[in-house]
Structure 1
Amino acid sequence: MHRLLLLLAAPISLLVATPSTPGTPSYEVELTGSADGRTWSGRETVSFTNTASEPLPEIYLRLWGNARGCGAVVVTGGTETRDCTVRKFPLAEPLKPGKRMSISFGVTMTAPDREDRFGRSGAFSFFGNALPVLAVRDAAGWHLESDVGIGESFYTVAADFAVRLTHTGNLAVPATGVLADGVVNARQVRDFAWAAGPFVSTEATSPGGVKVRTWATPTVTADAVVKARNEAVAALDDFGRRYGAYPDHELDLVLNDRWTTFSGMEYPGFVLLISPGAPVVHEVAHQWWYGIVGNNEYADPWLDEAFATYATDVHEGNHRAGCWPGTLPVAITKDMGYWGAHASSYGTYVYTYGSCMLHELERLIGTPAMDRLLAAYAKAHWHGVVTAAAFRDAAQAASSVDLSAFWRTHGVA
C-alpha cells in the first residue's frame, strides 16, 4: 500500500501486517455508457504486485454487483468459481515475489431494476460496488466470502483508479475521485462508484478547503439538499481535525428520496443518501472508518460501523451516558456470517453496542487520552487494514490503565 511510510513513526505495537497479496493495485478503466446511463461497457486493466514470499499462480476478482442476482456484471475472461460474485484468473505463469503484472478484461455493468446502491430509480442509475475489484489474500487465504444480504461484506485494499466515463446522453455522472481531462482519478481508495442521470447539482467549499458537491434527484427538496451539504461540510472539517485531514479535495453527496433498502451508503469520496432523513454525518465518518482506516468488513464489521457511529456521537456532542447494557450474550465482534443469520440483532450489537463500548472506553481512560488514541490509530493505519487486536494494542498504548478486564466485559477480548 502507498503511504505506509507513515507507519515508520508509529510504535511497533500499532503495526499490523499488510495483506499478503496482491499488493499496490491500480485500475485503469475505459467505459462507454448508454444514452440513459443504465449500461456501461468497456475494458478494465488491473495492475498488481506479488507481495507474498511465494509465487502467485492466480488472482480473483470480486463482482459484488452480482451478489443480489447474477448477470448485472459480466466479465470476459477468467472462470467462474462457486458463485457469480467471484471470477478466477489463472496466470499464464506464476508471478514471482516482488514482480508486477497486469491483466485486462472486458466488462459490462447494467443497473438492475431495483432501487438499491447498485440499481435503477426512475431516470437515475447507481453503480455502487459494481466495478470488479481484486480479492485479497492474507494470512487466512483468499477472501471470497459471500454478501450475506445485510450491511457490507467487502474487503479491499487501497488502490489508485483512473476511470474514463464516456456517454452521449444528457447526463450528469458524479463519481469517486476528481475529473481532469476526461478521466476521473482517485488515489488510494478502496472502491470506485458513480451514478448517472439528470441530477440537479450544487456545491460549497468547507472552511478546511474540501469541495462538497450535491447531486439530487428532482423530487428532493432544496432545503433537504442544503441541510445535507451543511452537515457534510461541518463533519468533514471536524473529523479532519480529530483523525487527520481528509485526503481528497472533493466529496460527492448523491441524494434520492426513493430508496427503501438503505438510508445511506458510503464509498470513497462518494455517498448515497436517502433524503430527507439521511444519516449524513455517519456516512461522512465512514470516509475515515473504512475509507482511510480499512478493515475486513466481513470478518470485523464493528471496526468501521461502531467507529462511524461513535464519531457521529462525538461530533454531535452526544456522550451516550448509560447506553452500555452490561454483559452481552453475544460478542460485538461476530462476523457477517453470524449477523446474516441473526439480522435482527445486527444493528443493535454492531452499531449501538459497538459505539457504546467506545464511549465506555473514553469514560475509563479519559477524553484527552481517547482523542489521542484515535488520532494516533488513524495515522498509524492510514490507508492500511486493521484488526481488533490492532485496536486493542493501540488503546493499551494510549492508556495507563490495564484494559484486559475491559475487553473481556465489553465483548472484544
Structure 2
Amino acid sequence: DPTLNVLSEDWHNSYNSVFGDPFCLHSANYLIRLNTPEVCKVVSTGKVMQAMAEDNGRQTHIIQATNVSDFSLAILFDYLELTKITSQATIKAYIPTHKEEMGQKFLRKSADIINYFSCQFGSYPYEEFKLVFVPMQGFYGMEYSELIFLRDEFLNKNYDLNHSEFILAHEIAHQWWYGLVGNDQIKEPWLDEGLANWSAYKYLDDIKGRKSSSANNLTKNINLVKELTDMGSTTEYYQIAYSGGEAFWFGLEEEIGTDKVFKALRRYLAEYKYKIATTPDLLSVIETEAHKDMEYYFNKWFK
C-alpha cells in the first residue's frame, strides 16, 4: 500500500529482506475507494463509510482511516463475521464458516487482551479492532493498524492454545508498539518487537499466571543496537529483536520495579503517540520515571 514518506536527516531507501519488517512508517490518514464482487466481504484498517451496490454484481466501498501507521485489507469469500462490543472497541473476528466455536474463543481473548493493555499502557483509540484468520506460510501472525492476521491453523481444536494465545497477545500489543508509537524497524527492530513480546508475556503472567522463560534467564545481554541490514539470518533477528528485546524489559523490571516500568511506558505512549520514537527517546523516558541514572544498565544492552 502507499505510505507517507518519513522526513529525517538520512535517506530512507527501499530495503527488502527475507526476514523482519523492513519499514519505517509515519501515521497518516487514508481515504480508499475499493471495487469488489458483491459476494465478497471486505475487511480493512479503518471503517467502511459507504458501500454502494452496482447492477453488474459488484460493489464500491469507501473506506476511511485516521491516524494509522499503515493500511491493510482482506477480501474474503465464505467467511463468518463475529462481533463483540466492549468498552474499549468493537472487536470483530473473521473466520471460515465452520469454525465459529473457536472463533468465539479468540474473540473473547482479544477483548481481554485489549482491555489489559488499555489499562496498563493507555486506551486503544480506534473504534474497531479486527482479527482475520488466513492460510499462512513461515510465520504465525502479522500486525497492521486496527487489524491483525493470524494463521488459520489456530482454529483447530487440537492446536496448542498456549502458543496461539501468546501470538494473539503479541500481535495485539503491536497496536500500541508500532501502531501508536512508531519506530524505524530497519534501524531499531528491537523497539517494537521486544516490547510486543514482553507485553504479551506480562498479559499471560498477570491474567493467566504463566511465567516467561526470559524472566528467569537474564544472564546473556545482547547488543540491541544491531540494524536489520546487519543481521545475517532469521535466527539472529529473533535472538536480538525478540528474545533480546524482551530480556531488556524483564531485566528492567528487576532494576526499577514493575510499577515504574509500566509508568514509563504510559509516558512513552503519551509523548510519542502517532510519532516515530527512537531508542534514545525511550531510554530518556525510562530514566525520568526511574528517578536515577540508568547508564549502568543501558550499557549492558547498547554497546
Secondary structure of residue in 2 paired with 1:133 = coil
Q: Which residue of 2 aligns with 1:263?
A: 140
Q: Which has the larger radius of gyration?
A: 1
1:202 equivalenced with 2:82 (yes/no): yes
CA displacement at 1:218 relative to structure 2 = 4.3
Q: Of Structure 1 and Structure 2, which has the larger fraction of its residues in helix?
A: 2
- Is residue 172–residue 197 contact of structure 1 (8 Å, CA) maintained in 2? yes
- Is residue 135–residue 144 contact of structure 1 (8 Å, CA) maintained in 2? no
Among 321, 333, 354, which residue is 2:215 paired with?
Answer: 321
- Is residue 365–residue 401 contact of structure 1 (8 Å, CA) maintained in 2? no
Q: Which residue of 2 aligns with 1:400?
A: 291
Q: Which residue of 1 aligns with 2:96?
A: 217
Among 148, 162, 171, which residue is 1:283 paired with?
Answer: 171
Q: Matches of residues 81-120 of structure 1 in structure 2 within 5 Å?
A: none
Q: Which residue of 2 aligns with 1:54?
A: none
1:300 equivalenced with 2:188 (yes/no): yes
Q: Which residue of 1 aligns with 2:113?
A: 235
1:412 equivalenced with 2:302 (yes/no): yes
- Is residue 155–residue 296 contact of structure 1 (8 Å, CA) maintained in 2? yes
CA displacement at 1:215 relative to structure 2 = 1.0
Deviations 1:384-408 (A, max 9, x none): 1100111111111111332111111
Secondary structure of residue in 1 paired with 2:41 = coil
C-alpha distance in 2, partners of 1:227/1:353? 31
Q: Matches of residues 11-410 of structure 1 in structure 2 within 5 Å?
A: 131-140=1-10, 142-182=11-51, 183-198=62-77, 199-206=79-86, 208-218=87-97, 221-256=99-134, 258-275=135-152, 276=154, 278=164, 279-317=167-205, 318=211, 320-328=214-222, 331-339=223-231, 341-409=232-300
C-alpha distance in 2, partners of 1:403/1:312? 25
Structure 2's unaligned 5+ residue stretches are 52-61, 155-162, 206-210
**Which amino acid in structure 1 is aligned with residue 266 of structure 2?**
A
Moved >3 Å (runs of 4+)? none
Secondary structure of residue in 2 paired with 1:160 = strand
- Is residue 255–residue 273 contact of structure 1 (8 Å, CA) maintained in 2? yes
**Which amino acid in structure 2 is aligned with residue 403 of structure 1?**
M
C-alpha distance in 2, partners of 1:298/1:290? 13
CA displacement at 1:184 relative to structure 2 = 1.5
Secondary structure of residue in 2 paired with 1:167 = strand
Q: Of Structure 1 and Structure 2, which has the larger fraction of its residues in strand?
A: 1
Structure 1's unaligned 5+ residue stretches are 1-130
Q: Percent identity?
A: 23
CA displacement at 1:363 relative to structure 2 = 1.2
